[in-house]
Chains A and B, each alone.
Chain A
C-alpha cells in the first residue's frame, strides 16, 4: 500500500496532466497555425472564452443539453476562427510579421470587449458539461474527478487522430507541404489560402473542445478567461518546439504538471512565475524548444 503522502502526489500529478492536456489541445491551434501560416494568432485564447460563453448560454441560459452546447460551440468557434482569418489575417499575407502580430492582438481585444459588452463584467459560474462521476480508489484516499477521467483520454484521442490525419490524408500532406515551402506547394496545385483556412478551422474547433474541458474544471467565466490559458498554451507550444504537433502535446503536459506541482508544493502565488521561468531556461538552453528541429538543406 502506498503512503498517504504519495496519494496526494498522485492526485496532483493527475490534475497536472489533465490541465496540461487542455493546454496541449489549445497549443495545437497555435502550433499548427504557426507551422502553416508562420504567424502567431494571439486571438486564439479568446476563441476559448467565446466557446465558454456559447456553451454557458446554451446550457445555463437556455437550459438545453450540455453536449448540444459543446457541439454548437465547436461549429460556431470553427466559423469564428475562419472568419477572423479571412477578414483580419488574409489581407496581410504579404505584410511584415509585426503588422500581423499587432492585428492579432487587436482581434484579441475586440473579442474580449465584445464579450464584455454582451455578457457584462460580472464573472459567470460555468456548470460542468461532463456527466462522468468521480472515481474513488485506494479506499477513498485517491479520488479522480470526472473531468480528469474525460480530459486525458480525449486529449490522447485528439492527438492520435490529428497525427493520422496529417500523415495519411491528402489535405494533411498538403498542410505539411505548405508549412515547409509555400511556393513549391503552389506548384503542386495546392490552394494555400484554402489550406490556411482549414488550419484555422481545425485549431478553432479544438479551442471549443478545450473550453468545454477547461471551464468544467475551472468554472470562472469572464471576458478575459481565455487570455491566461491562451498565453500558457502558447508557452507550451514554444516549450515543445513551435510548429511540432507532438511538441505541443509534450509542452502542454509538462507545463500543466509543473504548474500544479509548484502550486501544491512551492507557492500558489509563484506558480505562474515558475512556469515562465522554466520556459526562459528551456529557451536559453534549446532555443527551438524540446522537439523543435532545424531543417537541413542540401545542395
Chain B
C-alpha cells in the first residue's frame, strides 16, 4: 500500500535520513521506533509532502507522492496526525473536525463521518463548541486523531500520539489506535514509547540516526536483546 524506497532527506547540508526503505501493507499497524532525533518525524513529513526528499520514492498504491503538491495528498486517503497535536487553537472542536474534511464535498457524508468520530470520542461531542486551545493535552490528542479521521483515510500516519500524556491516557490512545485499525484503516505509527508501540504493531522498524537498523515482526523485536536494552529499558 505504502512503499518508501531509498529515502534521503537533508536539512541544509546535514543528512537526516540516509537511505531508508520500508513498506506498509493494507490492514497493518507498522511501528517506526527510535530515539529522539533518529528521523522518525522527518520520514512522516516527507511522506505527506511537508518536506521534499533529496532522493528516493514514496509510492502510495503505485502513485509517486513526490509528484503531488502536499495539499493534494490527504484526498488520496492518507491522513497525518502530526507530532504535538497541532490542532487549530482559535477554532472550535467542531470547526477543527470540519477542517479535517476540508477536501470532501458531500455534506451528508461528512455529517455521517462526524457522527462516527463523536461515537469514538464522546468527549469531543461534549466539547464541540469549545475552542480547541482550551482543551487538555489528552483531549487535543483525541481531536487531532478525530480530525484526521474526518478525511476518511485509508492509511493514517501518527506521530508520537502518546507524547506528554498520563499513563492512563496513553493506554486509552493505544486502544483507540487498535480500534481504528480494526475498523479497516492501516496505521503507520511513530513512537518513542517502543514498548507500547510494539505491543499493538504487526511489524516494526528500528531507526537510528537516519538508518533502519532492525526490522521484523513486532513480537520478535520485543524479544530481541539489543532492542530490549536500548528501547525497552530491560
Contacts and interface: CB of A to CB of B under 8 A. Distances in A.
A241 B136 CA distance: 27
A156 B84 CA distance: 39
Given A187-B48, A191-B69, A299 B137 contact: yes
A181 B140 contact: no
A189 B71 contact: yes
B73 to A, nearest CB: 8
Contacts, number: 74
Interface in A240-276: none
A230 to B, nearest CB: 28
Contacts of A185: 99
B133 A189 contact: no
Given A176-B90, A187-B82, A189-B71, A298 B135 contact: yes
Contact of B82 (A176, A184, A192, A295): A184
A299 B103 contact: no
Contacts of B71: 186, 189-192
B95 A173 contact: yes
A167 to B, nearest CB: 9
Interface in A149-185: 170, 173-174, 176-177, 180-181, 183-185
B82 A173 contact: no
Contact of B164 (A177, A180, A181, A299): A299
Interface string B118-155: 00000000000000010111001000000100010000
B90 A180 contact: yes
Contact of B74 (A176, A187, A298, A299): A187
Nearest to B81: A187
B222 interface: no
B74 A188 contact: yes
Nearest to B163: A299
B80 interface: yes
A222 B167 CA distance: 68
B72 interface: yes
A186 B82 CA distance: 11
B20 interface: no
A61 interface: no
Contacts of B100: 188
Nearest to A178: B88
Interface residues on B, range: 35 or more
A191 B68 CA distance: 12
B41 to A, nearest CB: 11
A251 B135 CA distance: 31
B50 A189 contact: no
A298 B140 CA distance: 9
B86 interface: yes
Given A298-B135, A299-B164, A186 B91 contact: no
Given A180-B90, A295-B133, A299-B164, A186 B102 contact: no
Contact of B88 (A170, A176, A191, A299): A176
B34 interface: no
Contacts of A174: 99, 102
Interface string B83-101: 0101111110001001110
A123 to B, nearest CB: 44
A92 to B, nearest CB: 18
Contacts of B135: 298
Given A174-B102, A188-B100, A183 B50 contact: yes
**Residue of A186, A295, A297, A299 with highest tally of chain B CB at under 10 A:** A186
Interface string B176-212: 0000000000000000000000000000000000000
B53 interface: no
Interface string A126-147: 0000000000000000000000
**Residue of A181, A186, A295, A298 with highest tally of chain B CB at under 10 A:** A298
Contacts of B39: none
Interface in B51-92: 69-75, 79-80, 82, 84, 86-91
Given A187-B80, A188-B100, A189-B72, 17 more contacts: A170-B102, A173-B91, A173-B95, A176-B90, A176-B91, A180-B90, A181-B86, A183-B45, A183-B86, A186-B71, A187-B70, A188-B99, A190-B71, A190-B102, A191-B71, A297-B89, A298-B137
Q: Which 4 A-B pairs have the closest CB atoms?
A: A189-B103, A184-B86, A189-B74, A188-B102
6 contacts: A173-B98, A188-B151, A189-B72, A191-B69, A191-B71, A298-B136
